[in-house]
Structure 1
Amino acid sequence: MIFRKNMLVFISLLFCLPYQSWGAAYNIMQYGAKGDGITDDTKAFEEAWQELCNDVEPGSTLTIPLVNTFLVGPINFQGPCKSPNVHFEILGTIVAPEDPSSWNGCLAGAWLLFANVEGLIVDGGGTIDGRGNAWWTKSLTNALHFENCNGLQLRNLNHRNSPRNHIGLSRSSYSTISDLDIVAPAYSPNTDGIDISTSTQIQIQNLVIKTGDDCIALNNGASQINITNINCGPGHGISIGSLGINGGYNTVEGIYVKNCNFSGTQNGARIKTWQGGSGYARDITFENIELDNVFNPIIIDQHYCPNEIHCPAESSAVNVSNISYKFFRGTSRSRIALNFDCSNMIPCSGIYLDQINIISSVSDEHTTAYCNNAYGTISSTKPSATCLS
């Protein structure tokens, strides 16, 4: 290792380049992985991760090579690691066991779990395939989850057919998620693209998400989240919530969604809360949004109850305020293009509509707005939403 470092210094001086420590290079094949898509390579991944995580040299990389397909069972990639940053490079394909009975349980409800790893980079252009078809009647296991991984950079990967959520992020702040392609069939239940909770200062950009549920869901404790350039559909749109389930106190604030396209989705910009909860959803902006045949282009649903079973009226609710919708264009397949169904007890306030032009995708039909205990201001809005005032 000393010889290698000295050689890097010599090359840097020879070509007048600034020297940097690139870290050690590990390859999963060195640990006995077969990469044939049939042999269980879980042990090789566990051993390789331990060596990578124990390396004190900054920027060390574990590579999952191109062409190969690696069958891997549930793994906990546990930190903290000794280096301030580690690189998990996926060039090939990682696949999950197809039979749920062979998963032997999943820690924290995730197939691939990264926990307590600072400065983690996961990228490479490869594929993570949860092969979740057998799970879609059970829907208990996420494909990839990051817990307490501050400074995460997740980028340039393909995610396929998760048993449940494709990517989860919790207690992982100051992180970036970019340039991902996330796909599952439209009929696959609960296959959210990205779910975020208890995290702040997150950048999400340049994603294609086609799934059976929310493209992106922002849950309790999400704050200061910037979302840009998302192509969503099919799916359930970009959702704040659901919040307040089982009477819980939940908060989401400081959300900025910009330059996104929704095509054939159930929802576009959605806020959903359960009756009986408390807390707030506030300071949220959706701007420059394109809509193509979306059922609920703009919706606040404070009576969220997906199965319409055991949904009694409650006196408390999550407080929804300071919500802005700017520059929306496109078509709605529902007559009600603007739907503000707020709590009967606690109104939605500070709703702002500006430069909205949503027409019907159904011939000879006109769009309209609905308001229940919702208040705000409008400017150049079609359909007219005078019910807000």
Structure 2
Amino acid sequence: MIMKRSRNLSLLVFVFFLVIVFVTFSVISVEARKNRIKKSKPHNKHHQKDKSGNGNTSNSPGPATAPLPHYGSNPIQSTIFDVLSFGAKGDGASDDSKALVAAWKAACKVNGATVKIPSQFKFLIKPITLQGPCMPSLVLQIDGTLLANPKVGSWSKSSLFQWINFKWVQNFTIQGTGVVDGQGYGWWSTSNQQMYHIQKKSKHIPYNKPTALRFYSSNDVTVRDIKITDSPQCHLKFDSSRGVKVDNITISSPESSPNTDGIHLQNTQDVEIHNSNIGSGDDCVSIQTGCSNIHIHHINCGPGHGISIGGLGKDKTIACVSNIIVEDISIQNSLTGVRIKTWQGGIGSVKNVSFSNIQVSDVKVPIMIDQHYCDKNLCKNQTGAVGISGVKYDRIIGTYSVQPIHLACSNEIPCTDVDLIDIQLKPSTGFGGFHQALCWNSYGKSQAPLLPSSIDYCLGKNGVPVKRNQVT
């Protein structure tokens, strides 16, 4: 009995001892935690003060915000390069050439950049070259007016071929609501006597006249919506380029302005020109050697010389043109409608050409092949010629003022596989009666309706002229 009571007492003492140990440990832990908090407060306060850099403390709990990465003075790089920001005046009198070139060079390094020519300003630009290669998707946004120098004598000899020259650009677009004004009237009216005085002053005679906009060795180029006026010579030229699109542009110069082609293609492939108005003193569209896969459609042409292939083979050179489609065209007040012209003595070929759905009004000669082309009063007869084959004329309808058809093929190499389908050409009002179609050394087939009826006699077969049934 005594031993049992002693054992219970020992157990009670042991439990009491454990309680004291537990309470003591808890008090020590609380005091230690309080001391840590007191020590940490001055440190946090000092840290916030250094972070702000201006002596203000932050009362918000939680860790300090991480510093922002450093981007320089402009965190977000702009893709708009306005020429006014590069020193252009835009008053139409100051030379803004350097500003445009500087904006171009800056934009050239940025993906998707735009060089901006703002509206309501006129920028006088001397002959310049805007050169690539550049980053993709570069845009020249022309909403204002670019002016060429109208003083013929102020142009240097090295700048007589082009005014604004684009070289080695890819994936590039010109667009906008603005005007490219070549101010070419001084070039058109310059007489030989004036040329003599210019030569004495500037040491050269500008027989060559500059093109307004010229692309050289460029790919995937688009020109849309702008207006090009009064170029000294050609308005828009593509040379040694590929993947060209021209859409909804206006080209305008007087009928009397010499050699002012609207669009000139040379050694260029894969081209689409459409939805545009072109009037000039020469060809609305000129297709020269080295061109293939050209599609021209929905064009309003006139005044001018129509849609032309050539002249090809000058000075016995080699010239090749193929795969040309010209369709849905309106031509008025023009020297010719659709034309192929070659020089005597040339070498090469024109093949696989289609002219269809062409509406002509008061056009002197709507359909023409001229293999005796000569830009002088007299050219020497030569053997050999650029061969012409596979040319189709389908649904050429309207009025003429001189001759409905003029197919003057080479004496040495005839035109072959020529199709005349649904040709309906009447004389213009006041011109008189029907005139004969002329066909020389041209062979192929025709299909009614054909008007005038002389078209029935036009084409030969196997070297012999063939008369089709007349359609009234």
TM-score in terms of structure 1 length: 0.92
Coordinate RMSD, CA, aligned = 1.9
Q: Give 2:109's aligned residue.
A: 54
Q: Give 1:85's aligned residue.
A: 137
Shift in alpha-carbon separation, 1:236–1:4, aligned structure 2, 3 A: farther
Shift in alpha-carbon separation, 1:284–1:2, aligned structure 2, 3 A: farther
Q: Give 1:331's aligned residue.
A: 399
- State the 1:230 CA deviation: 0.8
Shift in alpha-carbon separation, 1:207–1:350, aligned structure 2, 3 A: same
Correspondence 1:279 to 2:348: yes
Q: Report how many aligned residue pairs link the two structures.
A: 370
Shift in alpha-carbon separation, 1:37–1:249, aligned structure 2, 3 A: same
Match of residue 327, structure 2, among 243, 254, 258? 258
**C-alpha distance in 2 between matches for 1:388 and 1:2:** 74
5+ residue gaps, structure 1: 8-21
Match of residue 348, structure 1, among 415, 420, 439? 415
**C-alpha distance in 1 between matches for 2:234 and 2:267:** 16
- State the 1:54 CA deviation: 2.3
**C-alpha distance in 2 between matches for 1:363 and 1:224:** 38
- State the 1:344 CA deviation: 0.4
**C-alpha distance in 1 between matches for 2:357 and 2:74:** 50
Q: Give 2:302's aligned residue.
A: 233
Correspondence 1:39 to 2:94: yes
- State the 1:103 CA deviation: 2.6
**C-alpha distance in 2 between matches for 1:74 and 1:315:** 42
Larger RCO (CA within 8 A; separation ≥ 6): 1
2:171 touches 2:220 (CA, 8 Å); kept in 1?
Answer: yes
Range with greater deviation from structure 2 (30-39 or 364-373): 364-373
Could you say which structure has the higher strand fraction? 1
- State the 1:291 CA deviation: 0.6
Match of residue 69, structure 1, among 118, 122, 136? 122
5+ residue gaps, structure 2: 1-69, 191-206, 461-472
Correspondence 1:30 to 2:85: yes
1:106 touches 1:141 (CA, 8 Å); kept in 2?
Answer: no
Shift in alpha-carbon separation, 1:133–1:118, aligned structure 2, 3 A: same
**C-alpha distance in 2 between matches for 1:203 and 1:4:** 44
Shift in alpha-carbon separation, 1:98–1:363, aligned structure 2, 3 A: closer
2:160 touches 2:208 (CA, 8 Å); kept in 1?
Answer: no
Shift in alpha-carbon separation, 1:4–1:222, aligned structure 2, 3 A: farther
1:283 touches 1:323 (CA, 8 Å); kept in 2?
Answer: yes
Which protein is bigger by CA-based radius of gyration? Answer: 2
Match of residue 161, structure 1, among 230, 246, 251? 230
- State the 1:6 CA deviation: 9.7
- State the 1:108 CA deviation: 7.4
**C-alpha distance in 2 between matches for 1:312 and 1:46:** 47
Residues 16-72 of structure 1: CA deviation (Å, up to 9, x unaligned): xxxxxx9711101000100000111011111111111122x2x11011000100000
Residues 62-88 of structure 1: CA deviation (Å, up to 9, x unaligned): 11000100000000001111x122111
Correspondence 1:388 to 2:459: yes
SS in 2 for 1:326: strand
SS in 2 for 1:73: coil
**C-alpha distance in 1 between matches for 2:80 and 2:90:** 18
Match of residue 273, structure 2, among 204, 210, 223? 204
Residues 158-211 of structure 1: CA deviation (Å, up to 9, x unaligned): 000000000100111111011111011111000000000111110000111111
Shift in alpha-carbon separation, 1:51–1:200, aligned structure 2, 3 A: same
